[in-house]
Each structure stands twice: as structure tokens, then as C-alpha cells.
Amino acid sequence: MLRHMTAAVLLLAALLAIQATVSAQDDYGLISVEVAAGRVVPPAVDVNLTDLARVLGIAPVAAWNPTCLLEMPDGALLPLISQFDPGPGYDWETNAVGEICFILPEGVSGKLTLRVQLPGTPDAAPEARGAITQPITLDNAFYSVTHDPGKHAGLPSRFDFKGSGKVFEDFVWNDRVYDKEQGGFSLSQTAEPRLEMSSGPVRTLVRAYLEYAKGDRRPASQPQAVYDFSYYPGLPVIGVRARSSQAGHSSMRAVLSRTREWTRIGAA
């Protein structure tokens, strides 16, 4: 019997969302997704493993790490390099939400079906799922990027491009909201940013939990944002995902694109 739930796939580098379907059949889950030809960044699918495990009759585990198999046209199953990263609000027992990201074989695109086996291989779960309290630098053959909790509220504070030798560290992250009576409030003024990191075979993900503020002031609607930065070992691109929210109705509005400063840096 086939039982359906819904999820979304995020094309991280381009900040475009495409739809996927997560379902359950017998003793495994199914992800149906359409991947564009020429895609560079490994796909990432939003999933709720608690819901999927409940449908499959599987007990929660402390370290979720689903196994992903690609269904080939000839019926064969191709194991994929994959990784599960917990999302905001994650609780391994009651709310195992997050993203499954995976690496497809070269040239594979179009409508695809993946089998997801739970609980997977917990011993191979991504490492370093923990808080970032000191500056860290993410490094590959193309760039080095630094996240410093004491600068820009933990958003990237330094970019080193290895091919050109260019270094960027004199810039401002202008993600802010504005109200005509209260004025502007910026994410970079978050008083106590919270940073987390997880690392696995597909990517290293740095997540920043931030609040729009002006000094020690915050709007009554408490607007906030969660930024995910995905760093891939062999790719020159960096994936960025942002989620924002506020409490109730508010006249606060965003006045600058989250990616404006990012786009300027990336194109320099």
C-alpha cells in the first residue's frame, strides 16, 4: 500500500524550490523528484523522518542517517552518497525534521525515484553536530570562508578566493527589516547569535539562528531568520538557504534582498 506525505526540494545555490513527494511503501520510503539537467549542487529534500518512521512502524533512533538508493530504468538499485542534516526544531524522538541531500551520478536528471531506508546507518551519521562558539574556516580547492560568532553575528565574515587570490572581509550584511515608526533592524546586530554545524560526505552545513535588532532593541513582532550555508568538498559554489518569521501581524517589511551583498561578493 502506498501512503503519501509531501516535502520540498531546495536547489540551494540558486535559491529555487522545486516540489518532491515523500511516500511510504512496505518497509522503505520513496522520494519522487524532478532534477534539472546540468544541475551542479547536490539536491536537498525536506523530510520529516518521525512521520515516515511512524508510517513504516519503525522506532525512533538517536542518530538518524537514512540510506538512499536510486531506482534505475532497468529496475536496478544504485546506492547514493547521501547525508541527513537536522533542521530547525529537530528532536530525534518526536520531530526528526531536516534535509536529505545526495549526490547523483553524472548525467542523471529528469524525473527520479529514490528509496529511503530507515533508520539507515546511524554509525555513519554526519559528524560535528554541535554549537560553534569559536571562529571556524571552511576550506576547499576553490575558496576559504570564515564564520566568526563575534563578527556579523556569525554570518560569513571573510572570503578567500584561491584562483584569483582575492580576499573580501570589508563588507556589511544588509539583511534588515524596516517600520516607518520604529526604523530599521538588522540581523547583523543579533545580540546572541546561535551557530551550529554538521558535516558529512556531501557537505558541511553551517546554520545561524539570528534576530533582527538595533542595539538592545527588538520589534514587538520579534522577527527572526535562520540561515543555512552549505559547503561542498569539490565544488566552487556555496549553497544558501534563508527562512524568516515573525509573531502575528506586523508592519515590518524587508527592505533589502538577503542575497544582495552575497551576490556582489560571489561575482567579484
Residue 44: name the closest of 8, 96, 95, 2 by CA. 8
CA distance 268 to 169: 13
- The pLDDT of 240-258, averaged and rounded, is 66
Q: What's the whole-number mean pLDDT along residues 177-203?
A: 89
For residue 23, what pLDDT band results from cuts at 50, 70 and 90? low
Q: What is the pLDDT of residue 103?
A: 94
Residues 122-162: tens digit of each pLDDT: 555 555 467 898 999 999 999 999 999 999 999 999 999 99
What pLDDT, on a 0 to 100 scale, did the predictor assign at position 203? 94
Mean pLDDT of 217-224: 87
Q: Which three cell numbers stand for residue 122?
A: 546511524
Within 13 Å and on the Cβ side, how many CA atoms surround 93? 0
Whether residue 48 has pLDDT greater than 70: yes
Residue 48 CA: distances (Å) to CA of 43, 85, 86, 110, 266: 16, 11, 10, 24, 32
Q: Which domains does the chain have, with CATH numbers?
A: 2-125 (2.60.40), 129-267 (no CATH)
Q: In this predicted model, what pLDDT tens digit does every residue of 205-214 receive, in sequence order? A: 999 999 999 8
Average pLDDT across the chain, whole number: 81
- pLDDT at position 18 over 50: no
pTM of the model: 0.82
Question: C-alpha angle with apex 109: 40 to 234, nearest 5 degrees?
Answer: 25
Please, which pLDDT band fits residue 257 given cuts at 50, 70 and 90?
very low
- pLDDT for the residue numbered 125: 52
Q: What percent of the chain has pLDDT over 90?
A: 44
**Cβ atoms of residues 200 and 230 within 8 Å:** no
Flag whether pLDDT at 25 surpasses 70.
no
Question: Residue 253: pLDDT above 90?
Answer: no
List residues bridging with 121 in a β-sheet: none
pLDDT digits (tens, 9 = 90+) for 75-127: 899 999 999 999 989 998 999 999 999 999 999 999 999 999 987 765 555 55
Average pLDDT, integer, range 243-257: 63
